[in-house]
Structure 1
Amino acid sequence: MQAATYNLETRHPGWPARLGPLRVAAGEVSVRPIRLRDAGDWSRIRLRDREHLERWEPTAPGPWQDRNGFWSWPPQWMGLRSLARRGQCLPFAIIVDGQFAGQITIGNVIRASLRSAWVGYWVSSTVVGGGVATASVALVVDHVFASAGLHRIEATVRPENVASVRVLTKSGFRKEGLFRRYLDVAGDWRDHLCFAITVEEIGDGLVNRLIAERRAEWA
């Protein structure tokens, strides 16, 4: 799969966009731009899933309840949308069977001769293990290589986060190394594995690979 040509004058190539749906074990997965009205679902899931999420996310000031309450979403949404409009990130909501179920973001987009970014994601505890994260990564990575003009996507994950390591491995990312004491997570500086994939490595696309392996199908 070759990266499509794109207009260098476009301020935010590849965003907004709607991707999917794919059918996986957990249900029908699609990806769309984040919305202001996601606040209620976003807050409800994150407050409920504190134990599931907090141990893997960078340490931030303030109590979890405050940082993930209903009124903390609007400024986050505004900040992400502003970055997206400047072409610096592509923030998406993960939708399962029509319901908000997580986020996936392409961040720190650098263009010019590098054309690189990172991917980060989280999903509701109710769909973990059902192929949702893997399908979302496949949809978004294929999209940014084909429509956003990027060449390389990186992901960093704690070695202990077996589920996320499995998602990246199944998606075709290769492990490049270990970053020592890379991020402050859960109150301490944690080692992170670095994974990456480039456009030359995806062949006919990550989605087509999932379908060929019978782990997903177009819905």
Structure 2
Amino acid sequence: MSLEKLNALAERAKTDFKDGILDVAFAYGELTLTVERERIIEIMTKLKDGEHYRFHQLIDLTGVDYPKRDLRFDVVYHLLSLTKNLRIRVKVMTDETVPVASLREVYPNADWYEREAFDMYGILFANHPDLRRLLTDYGFEGHPLRKDFPMTGHVEVRYDEAQKRVVYEPVKLVQEFRKFDFMSPWEGASYVLPGDEKASS
């Protein structure tokens, strides 16, 4: 992808959106625009329909969790312009309580992407007509892609032979399963593998 074209695109976006662009970054030959959350509909509409942009395809929408930040989530949009042969990434920042405007009216395929981001991260999208879980079960607790979600989850599912049905139970781990010694799988063997410093310490 041409860096010159991306540079020109970044300069045009800074001119067109002025203070709506919070940051412009180039990494690995890709352009990322961080924009004002309140102006996401306006900016994405212009990126889709504007003569100099023509990003007609929303390729993906996802979340990223930074739990130590005040605005812990990034909502990340990946756009493709076939007419300009360019890809860009657009980001907005939010938290657990402030919704981001839904992009369904601009990109109809944002519908399921937004539901997935809500399910996995708990990111809210304003004016989404059906914001409910998409990948997890109806009674699922929490949001599994958050960094503070426990590795074991909250419930376990098993088939109960006596009841002849699937049952949900709180996760119960005995203490020995919570201790990890990080030793080699060959610990206790009568020989030491070359380079296995942990076995000798």
Same fold, TM exceeding 0.5? no
Q: Which structure has the larger Rg?
A: 2
Q: Identify, as 1 or 2, the structure richer in helix.
A: 1
Specify which structure has the bigger relative contact order, considering alpha-carbon pairs within 8 angstroms and separated by 6 or more residues: 1
Q: What's the TM-score once normalised by structure 2's chain length? A: 0.31
Q: Identify, as 1 or 2, the structure richer in strand.
A: 1
